[in-house]
Amino acid sequence: SVGNVRALDSSTTLYAVIGDPIKHSKSPLMHNVALQSLDVNGIYTAFHVPPDELEQAIKGIRALGIGGVNVTIPHKERVMAYLDNIDESAQVIGAVNTIVRRDGKLIGYNTDGLGYVRSLKEEMIPHVSAARILLIGAGGAARGIAYALLKEGCQELIIANRTVERAQALADDLSPYGPIRVVPLLDAPVIDAEQVDIVINTTSVGMHPDVAAIPLNPDWLQPHMIVSDIVYNPLETALVQAAQRTGCRTHSGLGMFVYQGAIAFEMWTGKQAPAELMRQEVLRTL
Annotated binding site: 25-27, 72, 88, 97, 112, 137-141, 161-166, 230, 232, 253, 260
**112-123 vs 140-151: helix crossing angle, rounded to 10:** 60
Residue 193 to residue 134: CA distance in whole angstroms: 10
Say whether 251 sits in a helix, a strand or coil.
Answer: strand
Cβ 136 to ligand ATR shortest distance, Å:
7
For ligand ATR, the binding residues in 51-70 under the rule CB under 6 A are none
Our CB check for ligand ATR shows the closer of 67 and 215 to be 215
Cβ 283 to ligand ATR shortest distance, Å:
22
Residue 105 falls in the annotated catalytic set: no
Residue at shortest CB range from ligand ATR: 139
Q: Which residues contact residue 137 at a Cβ distance below 8 angstroms, ignoring those fewer than 6 apart?
A: 159, 161, 201, 202, 203, 215
Only one of the segments 2-10, 106-114, 134-142, 187-195 lies at the binding site for ligand ATR (rule: CB under 6 A); that segment is 134-142
Our CB check for ligand ATR shows the closer of 43 and 242 to be 242
Cβ 284 to ligand ATR shortest distance, Å:
26
Residue 94 in contact with ligand ATR, rule: CB under 6 A: no
Our CB check for ligand ATR shows the closer of 24 and 127 to be 24
Tell me which of 115, 140, 189, 206 binds ligand ATR, using CB under 6 A. 140
Binding-site annotation, residues for NADP(+)? 88, 137-141, 161-166, 230, 253
Does an H or E element contain 27, and which? helix 27-37
71 phi and psi angles, rounded to 5 deg: -120, 130
Residue 180 in contact with ligand ATR, rule: CB under 6 A: no
Our CB check for ligand ATR shows the closer of 30 and 141 to be 141
> Choosing from 76, 105, 121, 151, which is the catalytic residue?
76
Q: Are strands 13-19 and 42-48 parallel, antiparallel or unpaired?
A: parallel
Residue in 252, 265, 223 with CA at minimum distance from that of residue 119: 252
249, 123 in Cβ contact below 8 A?
no
Residue 219 to residue 201: CA distance in whole angstroms: 16
Residue 274 in contact with ligand ATR, rule: CB under 6 A: no
Does an H or E element contain 5, and which? none
For ligand ATR, the binding residues in 210-269 under the rule CB under 6 A are 215
DSSP symbols for 67-81: -EEEE-TT-TTGGGG
For ligand ATR, the binding residues in 143-172 under the rule CB under 6 A are 161-163, 166
Q: Are strands 98-102 and 68-71 parallel, antiparallel or unpaired?
A: antiparallel
Say whether 122 sits in a helix, a strand or coil.
Answer: helix
Site string for ligand ATR, 189-208 (x = CB under 6 A): -------------xxxx---
Chain length of the chain: 286
Q: Which residues bind ligand ATR (CB under 6 A)?
A: 137-142, 161-163, 166, 202-205, 215
